[in-house]
Amino acid sequence: MAPYQWGFPLGFLAGIGGIGVWVLFWTNLFPLYPGVLHAEGMIGGFLVIVATGFLMTALPRFSGTRPASRRESGFLIATSVALLSSLLFAWRLPFHTTLWLHITCWFSFALSRLRTATVAPPPPFFLVGVGWAIAWCSTTVWLLADLLTWQWPALSPLSPLLLRGARQGLLYGFPIALMLGIGARIVPMIQGRETPPPTAPSGGERPVIRPQPRFIGYAAVLLCGLMAKTWGQEQLGHLLLALLVTTRLVSDWRVTETPPVRGTLSRTLWCAAWGFLIGLWGPVIAPRYAIHTTHIFFIGGVTLLIFGVATRVILAHGDYGLRLEQRSWAIRLLLIAFLLALGTRITAPFITNYFSHLAYAAIFWLLGVAAWSWTFAPKLFRWKARPPR
């Protein structure tokens, strides 16, 4: 079984739990206010697990190394199931502990592949490493705070500034770095734009893996934006993040141009790129509604891109051909449902019954996932041994 075949379904279940908690709260079936549980579940559960499954499949191919072993896959499956099981616990120590173990195990897997690489991974993957490093540091802070509070509940062992930085890192730094690092490689390929494939070094020598200066600069801007948000300079932080994403999307994704491939999936990913842009410029233009406009980034950007990339991975690795990328009602319904969820969510602050609107947005999101799953979930468990197209 390829890693994506367990990573995608477990991650999607985490997403259903992380978004569905608003429906449970609205119907009085969940007693706790789900704000923190929702945010951590969608990033620490949904995004982390799906990204792990994808990268454990892709990294060996991009680096010319061996696939994931049963032991490596087994441990990451176990931590994924534990993440899913502890997703909605009011006590966050089990979730944060499992998340820390999961990310640490992922780093062990990635570093072992990079040490034996015969092909240099695509340069944008440096940002993927930066994103995972941010997630690990953020989770370490959360875990340390949980442990200290557990032992000394009357104390506040870590400064609010440090905890705020950890939250900014996981909820914003990690998805931005991950989406820009992976998207710069995958999205132009799906949209029919030319991207040079990795080539093995001559003479069988191991490649020298060094980050390009421009990607170091991108990482520095990302960290500066997160630090600004941590220190209370929210608008400055959002401005730096928006400028970073705009630079990457215009130069690599060519978001200002319509995709050469005019299929349904290609246009959906183009919409996701605009979701990134609008979602990060929204807080700069309307800082009063930052928490609401940022959901354009999360719903219209991050989650839409996740399902778009998952579609290509399932079709390519399952040897189904790419016909469904051109015309698929499942992808169209996913896009429509996510746009309805997005519109409902960003208008929630202007509606009297605020929590009802959050539940309606969650229901639209869940309907989109159901429509996509009806077509693509049955194809998830077919796999071919040769590399995907």
pLDDT in tens, 157-190: 667 889 999 999 999 999 999 988 988 778 888 8
Q: Flag whether pLDDT at 204 surpasses 90.
A: no
> What's the pLDDT at 322?
82
Q: What percent of the chain has pLDDT over 90?
A: 67
**What phi and psi, each to the nearest 5 degrees, are found at residue 188?**
-60, -35
- Compute the average pLDDT of residues 109-119: 90
As a whole number, the mean pLDDT across the chain is: 89
Q: Flag whether pLDDT at 34 surpasses 50.
A: yes
- Compute the average pLDDT of residues 97-112: 94
Give the residue with greater pLDDT, 9 vs 90: 9
**165-179, 198-212, 313-327, 331-345, range with the lowest pLDDT:** 198-212
pLDDT band at 156 (very low <50, low <70, confident <90, very high): low
> What's the pLDDT at 149?
78
**69-83, 208-222, 299-313, range with the lowest pLDDT:** 208-222
> What's the pLDDT at 100?
96
Q: Flag whether pLDDT at 201 surpasses 80.
A: no
Give the residue with greater pLDDT, 16 vs 248: 16
- Compute the average pLDDT of residues 356-364: 96
> What's the pLDDT at 86?
94
- Compute the average pLDDT of residues 265-294: 93
pLDDT band at 200 (very low <50, low <70, confident <90, very high): very low
> What's the pLDDT at 388?
41
pLDDT band at 16 (very low <50, low <70, confident <90, very high): very high
Asked whether the beta carbons of 330 and 367 are under 8 A apart, the reply is: no
- Rounded CA-CA distance 115/60 in Å is 12
- Compute the average pLDDT of residues 276-282: 94
Is the pTM for the entire model greater than 0.85?
Answer: yes
Q: Flag whether pLDDT at 199 surpasses 50.
A: no
Token pair recorded at residue 136: 């690990």
Asked whether the beta carbons of 343 and 280 are under 8 A apart, the reply is: no
pLDDT band at 202 (very low <50, low <70, confident <90, very high): very low
Q: Flag whether pLDDT at 1 surpasses 50.
A: yes
> What's the pLDDT at 241?
96
> What's the pLDDT at 152?
62
pLDDT band at 215 (very low <50, low <70, confident <90, very high): very high
**What phi and psi, each to the nearest 5 degrees, are found at residue 30?**
-130, 120
